[in-house]
Structure 1
Amino acid sequence: MRVRLTLLALYVFLLASLSYFAMAFPAVDYVPPTLPNNSATNLNWTYINITSSENLTQALLEWGNSSGFTNISMSNSSGGNLTWYVNVTGLADRTYNYTIWAQNSTGNWNQSVRRFVTIDTIAPSIAIQSPQNATYINKVIDLNVSADEPVDTWRYSINDTGNTTFTPNTTITVSAGANNITVYANDTAGNMNRTIVYFTLNTTLDVSLAEPSTVSPTDFVQNTAFLVNATVVCRQGSCGNVAGTVRYNKTSANPDTPINITSGAQPFYIQEASPASTKSCPNNPLSEGQFCNLTWTVNATDSTLSYWKLGVNFSSDSGWTVPNTTSPATVSIVPCFVDLTVNWQSINFQNPLIPDTYQNPALGNADPLYNITVNSGSCNTDLYIKGTDMQNSTLGYSLGAGNLTWSNSSNTYSSSFNMTQAYSLFKFNAPPITNVTMWYWINVPPIFAANYNGTVFIQGVKSGSSFP
């Protein structure tokens, strides 16, 4: 019996011991406004709030960092001992960690999980590497930025027209004229900073000269007209109202002076009904990609017969379009020469012709066959005509030159003149590319019937020169 009682007592003691060690500890949870673990804040204070699974007699915040820790007593909210809080203030910028020690009414302690929080009250410092405070000629510009700390969100605003979120680095597209870009940076703690850059986009004029050639020198005969032909294309945005001025190099190596509009001016003048050295594009204002072509008819009066540089300068009334000048053409003014073509070999009449007949037309009158051309590039030309007596060397007879008549006005005998053995003027100041038609008749007096041959001479001289 004594043995059994001893065993029973031991059993009861073990049960009591087991019951004591199975008692629960208070469960602690973080609740708002406690920041989530590993958060960052831009405030120099933070709330730590908890709830417990049972009433607590006290709650301690273990707060610190690698430099040391301190215990801070927490306060309980009104209405019970389940909710506790503390506001930790005056915090320097760095990372802290903390845990909660909670004691219940039976004196049992429990510890919460450890959390981390970063205090960061300093906004990031932003640097904009591009664009800079400069003038650009390409509307697509690099946006290159950096900061002195990790940035959670980057945004930019062009000319205060709204914010765009971006990831560095990227590109932006801007409009012509004055621009600004504001770049914003938010760090993970919510600190925001911004910086602004002012810059300008200039639109450009893409220009070319089609005539005269810019590859090799071009010769122009003095006092003849030639064409200047230039094209402009608007690039990188709106170019406004564009105009071109045709120029020559009066005072420098390259074109610098508008060509004169007064007829006869040296060394060039614009030979048009309403001459203007500056002409506006007919399709103004020019938008991006639009073009216009301008032409001038120029007369080369240069009495010095020199080499010159010609070009066209294009400009705009907008404040942001850069003027541009075509590559220059080199032209040489050369003296003119008489260049004409007589388009027949002989003047023939019906064979036979009966003596003592008059006003007999040449066989080519009806076509008309007898044409004289002042060729392109020739001087303005004065045309003269003369003829010899017509001979029959076998018989020794002749027919006077005056029996042959000519007209340069119509195929009518009454308009004709008698041929002379001295040159007679029949066309004055014929310009290049001029055609003159002639008609001929012969009067046959009573003379021995035979073949008679003579020569007709057509002579051209530079207009105003002495006759041959």
Structure 2
Amino acid sequence: KKNLMFSLIAGILIILSLIFVLALPTITVDDPTPANNTNQTQNWSYFNFTSDENLDMTYLYLHNNTAPAAGPRNMSNDSQTHWYLNLTLDEYAYNWTVQMVNTSNLTHSTNSSMYYFTIDYTDPTPKINVPVDNYNSTSVNVTFVLNCTDATSSVQYLELWSNFSGTWAYNQTNNSVHSGVNWNITVNGITDGYYLWGAYCNDSVGNNNYSIEN
């Protein structure tokens, strides 16, 4: 009976050991790692992860929307459970995953979900194409043709600004504009005078810019 009991205990311990060895590491994504579907306005990203068990290595897979997937990047660590990497990055839409490899004799690793983020630190470019600078009109109704371009992010809105009313303020807003596409609007009832007008636009990341034409 004792031998049987010892055999049962040994068998249970072996099973528990196998479960422990075969268990996959759990990944925790820590700040300030780019969260899913977020935007950044700086030219770097810091990736920061912890695991619930000791790791041999952690790899970051990162690629952008115009290039094929890059090979794994080895991450640094200050312990076997904390891994990090700081990268200088160009303006693109990116996606990333992380792979953690534990210290068991068997090769065991966990891959994270895929995360998407955009880096865009350049202001959009608004422009008024019509009328030209220092334009003189004999009509009280003037047509304006303006657009906004952004190489990385979508344009959130475009506005015509002026002091036709005597105060510098926005005149009209387009919330469905697309990058580089002209917006034609006519302002009616402009009285005689010398005026300023300009275009202002904002992109989906929060960058903004304006251009004044006389």
TM-score, normalised to structure 1, is 0.34
What is the percentage of aligned positions where both structures have the same residue? 25
Q: Which amino acid aligns with 2:126?
A: I
Q: Please list, as runs of the form range in 1=range in 2, the aligned pairs for 1:259-274 lying within 5 A after superposition.
A: none
1:361-395 per-position Cα deviation (integer Å, ceiling 9, x unaligned): xxxxxxxxxxxxxxxxxxxxxxxxxxxxxxxxxxx
**CA gap 1:155/1:86 in 2 versus in 1, 3 angstroms:** farther
Higher RCO structure, 1 or 2 (CA under 8 Å, sep 6+) = 2
Q: Which amino acid aligns with 2:146?
A: V
Structure 2 residue 193 is the aligned partner of structure 1 residue 177: yes
**CA gap 1:32/1:181 in 2 versus in 1, 3 angstroms:** farther
**CA gap 1:36/1:178 in 2 versus in 1, 3 angstroms:** farther
Match of 1:72 in 2: 73
Match of 1:186 in 2: 202
**CA gap 1:54/1:176 in 2 versus in 1, 3 angstroms:** farther
Alpha-carbon distance between aligned partners in 2 of 1:21 and 1:131, rounded to the nearest angstrom: 76
Alpha-carbon distance between aligned partners in 1 of 2:158 and 2:48, rounded to the nearest angstrom: 33
**3-state SS of paired residue (1:101):** strand
Larger Rg over CA atoms = 1
Q: Which amino acid aligns with 1:22?
A: I
1:41·1:190 contact (CA, 8 Å) conserved in 2? no
Q: Which amino acid aligns with 1:161?
A: W
**CA gap 1:156/1:68 in 2 versus in 1, 3 angstroms:** same
Alpha-carbon distance between aligned partners in 1 of 2:196 and 2:207, rounded to the nearest angstrom: 23
**CA gap 1:148/1:161 in 2 versus in 1, 3 angstroms:** closer
CA shift at 1:43, angstroms? 3.3
2:92·2:119 contact (CA, 8 Å) conserved in 1? yes
Match of 1:446 in 2: none
Unaligned ranges ≥5, structure 1: 199-468
**CA gap 1:17/1:60 in 2 versus in 1, 3 angstroms:** same
CA shift at 1:121, angstroms? 4.7
Match of 2:126 in 1: 126
Match of 1:450 in 2: none
**CA gap 1:109/1:12 in 2 versus in 1, 3 angstroms:** same
Alpha-carbon distance between aligned partners in 1 of 2:98 and 2:158, rounded to the nearest angstrom: 37
Q: Please list, as runs of the form range in 1=range in 2, the aligned pairs for 1:421-440 lying within 5 A after superposition.
A: none
1:181-224 per-position Cα deviation (integer Å, ceiling 9, x unaligned): 221223234443332222xxxxxxxxxxxxxxxxxxxxxxxxxx
Match of 2:173 in 1: 166
1:228-276 per-position Cα deviation (integer Å, ceiling 9, x unaligned): xxxxxxxxxxxxxxxxxxxxxxxxxxxxxxxxxxxxxxxxxxxxxxxxx
Alpha-carbon distance between aligned partners in 2 of 1:30 and 1:151, rounded to the nearest angstrom: 30
2:127·2:199 contact (CA, 8 Å) conserved in 1? no
**CA gap 1:162/1:29 in 2 versus in 1, 3 angstroms:** farther
1:383-425 per-position Cα deviation (integer Å, ceiling 9, x unaligned): xxxxxxxxxxxxxxxxxxxxxxxxxxxxxxxxxxxxxxxxxxx
2:140·2:191 contact (CA, 8 Å) conserved in 1? no
2:39·2:205 contact (CA, 8 Å) conserved in 1? yes
Q: Which amino acid aligns with 2:199?
A: V
Match of 1:111 in 2: 111
CA shift at 1:143, angstroms? 4.8
Structure 2 residue 161 is the aligned partner of structure 1 residue 157: yes
1:255-298 per-position Cα deviation (integer Å, ceiling 9, x unaligned): xxxxxxxxxxxxxxxxxxxxxxxxxxxxxxxxxxxxxxxxxxxx
CA shift at 1:156, angstroms? 4.3
Q: Please list, as runs of the form range in 1=range in 2, the aligned pairs for 1:217-232 lying within 5 A after superposition.
A: none
Q: Which amino acid aligns with 1:186?
A: N
**CA gap 1:181/1:14 in 2 versus in 1, 3 angstroms:** farther
Match of 1:428 in 2: none
Match of 2:97 in 1: 99
2:161·2:172 contact (CA, 8 Å) conserved in 1? no
- Count of residues in Structure 1 that have an aligned counterpart in Structure 2: 189
CA shift at 1:70, angstroms? 2.6
**CA gap 1:81/1:158 in 2 versus in 1, 3 angstroms:** farther
**CA gap 1:138/1:165 in 2 versus in 1, 3 angstroms:** closer
1:95·1:119 contact (CA, 8 Å) conserved in 2? yes
**3-state SS of paired residue (2:16):** helix
Consecutive aligned runs of 4 or more in structure 1 exceeding 6 Å deviation: 11-14
CA shift at 1:88, angstroms? 1.0
Match of 1:138 in 2: 140
Alpha-carbon distance between aligned partners in 1 of 2:173 and 2:126, rounded to the nearest angstrom: 15
Alpha-carbon distance between aligned partners in 2 of 1:131 and 1:85, rounded to the nearest angstrom: 53
1:156·1:163 contact (CA, 8 Å) conserved in 2? yes
